[in-house]
């Protein structure tokens, strides 16, 4: 059975039928499943709705299987994906899918899930499933190798190496019978040889192994297998050379087990230093495996971590690891000697005699700055210090962080909670409050840590609680955020940072007068800080407070007129970056008419909901670019070659927007257009040519005469004070003077001038003018 045939056929058919997006994803998911989990997920979420829209259950099965492969086999995500594996099994054996060759692979997904959850514990069940499945297929199936490997691994988990060897030989024979490669089984065979003590044979077997389809993941597995053989041969230098780094293997859970095994041997051979960092890494890997539900492997990595701890008399971390092992033991399907391992380790940890690191700390700060060699030394010192300086919360916080570093988040949180109850402390207010928000969310926090219950708190504590509230509320409810600031202000009225937060919040609430008051307070507090003056200009401009604008601009040595704006001669072109209604960044050309005020010169596209031309924008005067480059002609420009400063928009002022209308038709010639522009401008209309150069129009004169001429398409912007009728009159009069009439359907529609509109429709039809 060529399992890929239907996939390839389906791919080609999808391509032919115009579903090239889904077709492309078919190969992508299989190619990325080895090493690129994030991309697998992206492809999966994109592909499934497409499969469902085509009601293609085989393909849905295919995509779901490959995602499981990536998550289960490569990343050991047993906990999160067992339900999906079961659901997929159900899906794979229905009337619609039971002819799909991929259904067989789903059984492997499920078996592998149990293998990862508790390999030795589920040996019996896994063997049964694999054998049952192998009986349904032969060596010509690609999944014969996968199920076969699963079977061998099950026997190896049970340490039944003889049976594994026999079964492997049978599997390979079957594969060869069907001219299939057994490259996927190379590593399994090498592992089997290692486990049966045939080290040299294992090396000979694996030294030149390659699997061109294996990806990076195969290369890492190969290196780890080679490193394990070299460990057995005590060839430590070569092990160091070949063993992949922690940074690399930490991305793929399937490598954690072998890597920790190799590292422990390197430590025992005194080739690698058994330091805090290495123990933390082991702890991180075992904790990650535990979170993924890879219980048995996590158990084994914890065991190795304890071995590292025992070598350095690190009882603190060892006890934590042992606790986790006991908890994992509860989840095993079958014990398989786990309890006995725990008992032995327990005894060995108890037997550790700890020689306390003899450091005499004069004060708590000295201890906090000290770098301990082990966590045990640190916890002992901390406990002693806490007894000595019970009121020192820095010590308590440090102790919590130590538990955090040992993945004891609950313990850390409980300690913080207890310390918070027992001590009045601003630091704990912040630390415990932050931890509480992270754990329970802000809503719960706000109930427990109300701003109404701060009486008797120290100033600093009020600040910390207040800002924990403020930082959350300012994202969702500015009015409530302001109330919090006011409560803080009762205790910190002269704080410049608080004033800044007030001003920002008032601006967000469109209360500009109040914002200006706080900006002025900032200036009083820090008169030399010119940023405060610019900030005041922003709030004053938003408030249209000319007096403050003039005074502040003068203080900044900017000359403005009594209107608070620059003289026309001093108005320069700038660019403004703003966010439009579509949540997209827009860059607008504008005239800087005041210190922080600009008028837009860019004519927006007619399809844009609001015409920004002529609108005034208050902007942040701290430019986003620097004109620090020189162009070929020696002019100053920014890195993108722009000659103007770019500023971020703060607010587009609510002036009435211009309306935009279009004219379209055969170009009446430059002189005629020039006259039209004159008449329009005299009446206060803005003419904006959109295109004429590359706008050919074709029409017929008489029966057969083909005509061609350049067209013109332009916007006419009308400010709210101008009359649309006047515009209509100007255009109508102009039309009488030219050979080929122009059209302005949008204006006619607006004026409900049906007769003109109908006339223009005919003109549009004649000249082949299509609506934009």
Partner 1 sequence: MTDNSIQKTTVNLDGLLEILGKNLYSSPNIALRELIQNASDACERHRIESKETRQYSIRLKCNDETQQLIISDNGSGLSKQELQEFLATIGSGYSRVLRNKTGSKDIIGYFGLGFLSAYVVAKKVEVVTTSYKSPNETWKFTSTKGKTYSISPAPNSQVGTTVTLYLKDEFISLSHASFVDSLIERYCCLLQIPIFLNDFEDPLNNLQPPWYEEENTPPIRRRKLALDFANVFEDTFEPIVTFRIPNNNELDLKGVLWVQGGSTYASSDNRNISVFIRNMFITDEDKELFPSWAGFCGGVLETNKFQPTASRESLQKDDYYFRVKSYLNEFLASELRRVALEEPAAWRRILSRHNQAMLGAAISSDRLFETIHKSLKIPTTEGDLTIPSLLKRSENKIFTKISSQSGHEEILFRARGIPLVKGYLFASLGFCQKYHAVHGVPIETIGTKSSRETVFPSHPPGSYEDELLFRRLFESEKHEVTFTHFKPHHIPLLVIEDADVITKKRIEDDEADQRISSAALSLARLETKQLDAKRERIIFINLENNLIKKIPYLEAAKQEKIKKLLISLMELLCLEPSHQDQDLDVVFSQFNSALLFFIENGTS
List, in sequence order, the alpha helices (H) in 441-495.
Answer: 442-448, 459-476, 478-489
Residue 110 Rama label (left phi>0; alpha psi -120 to 50; beta): alpha
Residue 267 near residue 305, CB atoms below 8 Å: no
Give CA–CA dist 198/141, Å, rounded: 31
Binding mask 330-369 for partner 1 (x = CB under 8 A): ---x------------------------------------
Minimum distance, C-beta of residue 772 to partner 1, in the bound complex (Å) = 19
> For partner 1, which residue of 233, 629, 675, 710 counts as binding (CB under 8 A)?
629
Binding mask 558-577 for partner 1 (x = CB under 8 A): -------------------x
> For partner 1, which residue of 573, 639, 653, 754 counts as binding (CB under 8 A)?
639
| Per-position DSSP letters for 328-364, written without gaps between them | HHHT-SS-TTHHHHHHHHHHHHHTPPP-------SSH
Sole window of 120-128, 374-382, 514-522, 677-685 interacting with partner 1 (rule: CB under 8 A): 120-128
Enclosing H/E stretch for 617:
strand 616-620
SS3 helix, strand, coil % of the chain, rounded to 5?
A: 60, 10, 30
Minimum distance, C-beta of residue 444 to partner 1, in the bound complex (Å) = 11
> For partner 1, which residue of 5, 12, 16, 94 counts as binding (CB under 8 A)?
94
Tell me, by CB under 8 A, how many residues bind partner 1: 66
Question: Of 136 and 655, which CB lies nearer to partner 1 in the complex structure?
Answer: 136
Minimum distance, C-beta of residue 261 to partner 1, in the bound complex (Å) = 25
Residue 649 near residue 617, CB atoms below 8 Å: yes
Told to check if 39 binds partner 1 by CB under 8 A, we report yes
Residue 597 near residue 618, CB atoms below 8 Å: yes
Question: Of 25 and 550, which CB lies nearer to partner 1 in the complex structure?
Answer: 25
Told to check if 622 binds partner 1 by CB under 8 A, we report no
What tokens appear for 196 in the block? 């049966």
Question: Of 342 and 646, which CB lies nearer to partner 1 in the complex structure?
Answer: 646
> For partner 1, which residue of 179, 330, 640, 771 counts as binding (CB under 8 A)?
640
Told to check if 136 binds partner 1 by CB under 8 A, we report yes
Question: Of 3 and 637, which CB lies nearer to partner 1 in the complex structure?
Answer: 637
If we measure between CA atoms, which residue out of 152, 142, 77 comes closest to residue 109?
Answer: 77
What is the 8-class DSSP label of residue 91?
H
Residues 581-600 that bind partner 1 (CB under 8 A): 582-585, 587
Cα 768 to its chain centre, rounded Å, is 49
The residues that bridge with 701 in the sheet, in sequence order, are 705
Told to check if 21 binds partner 1 by CB under 8 A, we report yes
Told to check if 251 binds partner 1 by CB under 8 A, we report no
Sole window of 104-112, 192-200, 267-275, 357-365 interacting with partner 1 (rule: CB under 8 A): 104-112
Residue 614 Rama label (left phi>0; alpha psi -120 to 50; beta): left
Cα dihedral: 22, 26, 27, 28 (round 10): 70
Told to check if 732 binds partner 1 by CB under 8 A, we report no
Question: Of 113 and 289, which CB lies nearer to partner 1 in the complex structure?
Answer: 113
Told to check if 131 binds partner 1 by CB under 8 A, we report yes
Sole window of 124-132, 174-182, 261-269, 450-458 interacting with partner 1 (rule: CB under 8 A): 124-132
554-590 burial: b if 16+ Cβ within 10 Å, else e: eeeebebeeebbbeeeebeebbbbbeeeeeeebebeb
C-alpha dihedral sign at 155, 160, 164, 167 = negative
Told to check if 90 binds partner 1 by CB under 8 A, we report yes
Told to check if 441 binds partner 1 by CB under 8 A, we report yes
Q: Would you tell me which residues interact with partner 1 (CB under 8 A)?
A: 20-21, 24-25, 28, 32, 36, 38-39, 41-43, 45-46, 48-49, 52-53, 82-83, 85-87, 89-90, 93-94, 98, 107, 110-111, 114, 122, 125-126, 128-129, 131-133, 136, 333, 438, 441-442, 472, 475-476, 577, 582-585, 587, 624-625, 629-632, 637, 639-642, 646
């Amino acid at each position: 059975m060529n399992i890929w045939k239907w996939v390839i056929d389906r791919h080609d058919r999808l391509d032919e039928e115009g579903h090239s997006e889904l077709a492309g994803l078919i190969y992508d998911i299989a190619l990325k499943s080895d090493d690129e989990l994030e991309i697998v997920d992206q492809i999966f979420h994109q592909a499934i709705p497409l499969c469902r829209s085509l009601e293609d259950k085989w393909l849905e099965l295919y995509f779901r299987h490959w995602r499981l492969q990536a998550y289960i086999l490569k990343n050991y995500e047993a906990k999160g994906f067992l339900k999906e594996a079961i659901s997929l099994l159900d899906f794979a054996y229905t009337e619609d899918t039971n002819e799909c060759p991929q259904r067989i692979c789903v059984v492997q997904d499920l078996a592998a899930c149990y293998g990862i959850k508790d390999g030795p514990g589920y040996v019996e069940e896994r063997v049964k499933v694999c054998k049952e499945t192998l009986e349904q297929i032969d060596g010509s199936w690609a999944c014969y190798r996968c199920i076969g490997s699963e079977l061998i691994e099950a026997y190896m988990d049970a340490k039944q190496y003889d049976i594994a060897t026999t079964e492997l030989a049978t599997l390979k024979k079957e594969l060869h019978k069907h001219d299939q490669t057994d490259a996927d089984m190379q590593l399994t065979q090498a592992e089997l040889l290692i486990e049966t003590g045939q080290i040299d044979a294992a090396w000979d077997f694996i030294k030149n192994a390659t699997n061109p389809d294996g990806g990076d993941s195969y290369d890492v597995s190969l290196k780890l297998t080679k490193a394990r053989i070299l460990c057995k041969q005590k060839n430590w230098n070569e092990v160091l050379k070949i063993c992949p780094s922690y940074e690399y293997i930490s991305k793929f859970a399937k490598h954690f087990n072998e890597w920790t095994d190799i590292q422990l041997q390197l430590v025992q051979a005194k080739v690698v230093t058994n330091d805090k960092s290495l123990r933390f890494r082991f702890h991180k890997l075992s904790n990650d495996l535990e979170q993924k539900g890879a219980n048995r492997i996590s158990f084994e990595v914890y065991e190795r971590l304890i071995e590292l701890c025992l070598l350095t008399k690190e009882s603190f971390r060892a006890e934590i690891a042992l606790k986790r092992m006991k908890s994992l033991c509860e989840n095993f399907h079958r014990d398989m000697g786990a309890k006995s391992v725990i008992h032995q380790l327990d005894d060995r940890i108890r037997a550790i005699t700890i020689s306390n690191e003899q450091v005499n700390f004069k004060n708590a700060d000295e201890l906090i700055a000290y770098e301990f060699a082990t966590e045990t030394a640190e916890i002992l010192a901390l406990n002693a210090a806490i007894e000595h300086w019970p009121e020192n919360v820095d010590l308590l916080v440090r102790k919590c962080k130590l538990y955090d570093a040992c993945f004891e988040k609950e313990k850390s949180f409980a300690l913080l909670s207890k310390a918070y109850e027992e001590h009045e402390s601003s630091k704990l207010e912040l630390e415990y409050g932050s931890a509480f928000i992270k754990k329970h969310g802000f809503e719960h926090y706000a109930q427990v840590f109300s701003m109404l219950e701060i009486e008797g708190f120290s100033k600093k504590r009020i600040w910390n609680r207040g800002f924990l509230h403020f930082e959350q509320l300012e994202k969702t409810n500015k009015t409530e955020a302001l109330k919090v600031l006011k409560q803080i202000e009762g205790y910190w009225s002269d704080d410049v940072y608080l004033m800044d937060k007030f001003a920002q919040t008032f601006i967000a609430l469109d209360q500009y007068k109040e914002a200006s008051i706080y900006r002025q307070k900032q200036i009083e507090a820090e008169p030399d800080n010119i940023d405060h003056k610019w900030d005041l200009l922003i709030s004053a401009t938003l408030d249209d407070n000319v007096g403050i604008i003039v005074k502040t601009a003068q203080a900044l040595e900017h000359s403005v007129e009594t209107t608070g704006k620059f003289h026309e001669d001093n108005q320069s072109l700038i660019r403004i970056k703003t966010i439009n209604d579509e949540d997209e960044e827009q860059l607008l050309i504008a005239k800087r008419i005041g210190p922080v005020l600009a008028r837009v010169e860019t004519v927006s596209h007619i399809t844009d909901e609001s015409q920004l031309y002529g609108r005034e924008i208050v902007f942040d005067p701290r430019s986003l670019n620097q004109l620090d480059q020189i162009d070929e002609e020696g002019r100053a420009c920014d890195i993108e070659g722009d000659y103007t400063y770019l500023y971020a928009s703060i607010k587009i002022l609510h002036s009435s927007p211009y309306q935009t209308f279009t004219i379209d038709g055969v170009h009446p010639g430059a002189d005629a257009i020039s006259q039209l522009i004159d008449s329009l401008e005299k009446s206060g209309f803005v003419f904006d040519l959109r295109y004429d150069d590359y706008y050919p129009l074709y029409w017929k004169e008489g029966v057969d005469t083909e005509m061609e001429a350049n067209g013109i398409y332009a916007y006419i912007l009308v400010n709210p004070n101008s009359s649309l009728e006047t515009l209509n009159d100007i255009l109508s009069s102009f039309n009488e003077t030219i050979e080929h009439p122009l059209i302005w359907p949008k204006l006619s529609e607006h004026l409900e001038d049906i007769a003109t509109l109908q006339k223009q429709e005919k003109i549009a039809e004649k000249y082949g003018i299509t609506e934009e």
